[in-house]
Structure 1
Amino acid sequence: MITTIFGHRGIPAKFIENSLTGFEYVANFGEGVEFDVQLTKDLIPVVMHDERIDRTTNGRGFIKNLSLTELRQFHLVNDPNWQHQQMSHFETIPTLAEVLAIFKNTTTVINIELKTDRFAYPGIEAQVLEILTAFDLTQRTTISSFNLATLQRVKLLSPIQRTAYLSEQEIQNPDFFIQKYQLDALHLKWQAMYFGSQFKQRLWTVNSADTMKKIMGKKVAGIFTDDFELAAQFRKQI
């Protein structure tokens, strides 16, 4: 099994997370991409990890309390933990449609996390599936979530859609768990990885060189990393 490398929120090692610039870089040089989707006040799917915009924009507030027009008043800013990030122009929070347009004519494997573990975002599953269908990207996309009810709703709406459950901890009897919830894979915090497992597991967030070396030889289905180019170098060596 060749481990697929997913650019986690684009490539934060080079460009600000979840920026169109970062996603375009992944589309040109990467093989997989991972990002999070939430709904605005006017029910537009947008791509951002945090429920609040405080950390990664020059604004404040919850995404669910702001319309897309209101969100567009703010721009993305560099995470202070990544001082070397580049940005030649200001960018706003992208919509799901804008991000998918970048990957439509590529072979990039896509993972969309629905951020429903804190807020419900009613109808988000149907909206995301509709947009995936419009871009003809259903086959290349896995939908993941920490919320099992979200994944069950996805399966009810689209039985063929690949789904994966996110967990920070090991899951007892993972083979039964996957079968019970009709999952394609488990997306685990890398410290909770299973050794010698036969089911698909993709691990997050793998950023250190030592961890990359440790995982690459363990036949895991995928990793999520802030620097997919570094991970690709280690995979090639192994």
Structure 2
Amino acid sequence: MATTIFGHRGIPVKFVENSISGFEYLAQHGEAVEFDVHLTKDNVPVVMHDEKLDRTTDYSGFIKDLNFSDLQTVKLINDKNRKDQNLVHDEYVPTLDDVLAIFNHSNIQLNIELKTDQFEYPGIEESVLNALKAYDLQQPIIFSSFNIQTLKRLYQIDHTQNLAFLSPFKIQNPVQFMANNHFQALHLNYESLLESNIVQRIWTVNDEEQMKSLFLRKIAGIFTDDFETAIQLRDTIG
């Protein structure tokens, strides 16, 4: 099986990360997408990577401390550390529903990361699962988290969910670890790649030599900021 290429937060080399524009572009040109979900103070699931608004919006503060109505006037901006993106005007922090609507009835595979490694966001698992019921998503959804308790709660709610544990560290006895926790995959960084036949998806791979090595190994998936370059490179390898 060829490696699946996930657009990491959309396509950040062209559009502001986790923006509607980026997701719409991916829906037209990509094959899989990864994005992150938080809960507002009034329990609305929204899509953004950071717990704080400071890096990618014109506002500051934690998502968890704001009601959704407060976010509706917050505008996305370029990551302050990047200079290579198209500036998106008048784009707002998208809700989970906004993003799911883009991929409704599509064959794009979704990886939804629940960003509970700093804050638990009580009830986020049920909120996300309930939101998904309104959409027709053709590919199985992957749920990932650095927080093993989040994945355990997802399993308790629905034993059929496709769960992946995120880790920056090498996992000891990965086959047993996955079986014990009902995980279908491990999502690791390049340095933590395992010499194993388990399902691994590697983040965040922007170096072309690293991409080549992963494609040759037939690794299950990679997450990248430039899915177009990755797809072209994979296709040349065959």
Normalised by the shorter chain, which TM-score bucket?
Answer: over 0.9
**CA deviation vs aligned residue, 1:137-179 (integer Å, no higher than 9, x gap):** 3852111000111001001111111010000011000000111
Letter in 2 for 1:123: G
- In the alignment, is the contact (CA less than 8 A) between 2:105 and 2:135 conserved in 1? no
**CA deviation vs aligned residue, 1:174-210 (integer Å, no higher than 9, x gap):** 0001111101100001111113x22100000001112
The equivalent of 2:74 in structure 1 is: 74
In structure 1, runs of 5+ residues without a counterpart are: none
- In the alignment, is the contact (CA less than 8 A) between 2:106 and 2:137 conserved in 1? no
Paired with 2:233 and 2:164, the residues of 1 have a C-alpha distance of 25
Paired with 1:34 and 1:203, the residues of 2 have a C-alpha distance of 12
The equivalent of 1:145 in structure 2 is: 145
The equivalent of 1:3 in structure 2 is: 3
The equivalent of 1:83 in structure 2 is: 83
Is 1:15 aligned to 2:18, yes or no?
no
**CA deviation vs aligned residue, 1:16-45 (integer Å, no higher than 9, x gap):** 000000000110000000000000011000
Question: SS of 1:80's equivalent?
Answer: coil
Question: SS of 2:133's equivalent?
Answer: helix
More displaced 10-residue stretch of structure 1: 219-228 or 135-144: 135-144
**CA deviation vs aligned residue, 1:119-151 (integer Å, no higher than 9, x gap):** 010000001011112213385211100011100
Paired with 2:83 and 2:208, the residues of 1 have a C-alpha distance of 19
Is 1:229 aligned to 2:228, yes or no?
yes
Letter in 2 for 1:100: L
Paired with 2:37 and 2:220, the residues of 1 have a C-alpha distance of 23
Question: SS of 1:134's equivalent?
Answer: coil
Paired with 1:192 and 1:47, the residues of 2 have a C-alpha distance of 27
Paired with 1:115 and 1:144, the residues of 2 have a C-alpha distance of 9
Question: SS of 1:151's equivalent?
Answer: helix
Letter in 1 for 2:236: Q
Letter in 1 for 2:134: A
Paired with 1:137 and 1:148, the residues of 2 have a C-alpha distance of 25
Distance apart, 1:87 and its partner CA: 3.5
Map 1:1-238; keep pairs closer than 5 Å.
1-137=1-137, 140-195=140-195, 197-238=196-237
Identity of aligned residues (%): 54
Paired with 1:156 and 1:88, the residues of 2 have a C-alpha distance of 40
More displaced 10-residue stretch of structure 1: 43-52 or 186-195: 186-195
Paired with 1:82 and 1:236, the residues of 2 have a C-alpha distance of 28
CA RMSD, 1 decimal: 1.2
- In the alignment, is the contact (CA less than 8 A) between 1:104 and 1:136 conserved in 2? yes
Distance apart, 1:82 and its partner CA: 2.6
Letter in 2 for 1:227: D
Which ranges of 4 or more aligned residues in structure 1 deviate by more than 6 Å?
none
Question: SS of 1:165's equivalent?
Answer: strand
TM-score normalized by structure 1? 0.97
Paired with 2:45 and 2:51, the residues of 1 have a C-alpha distance of 13
TM-score normalized by structure 2? 0.97
Question: CA 1:88 to 1:40, structure 2 compared with 1: closer, same or farther past 3 Å?
Answer: closer
Paired with 2:27 and 2:232, the residues of 1 have a C-alpha distance of 18
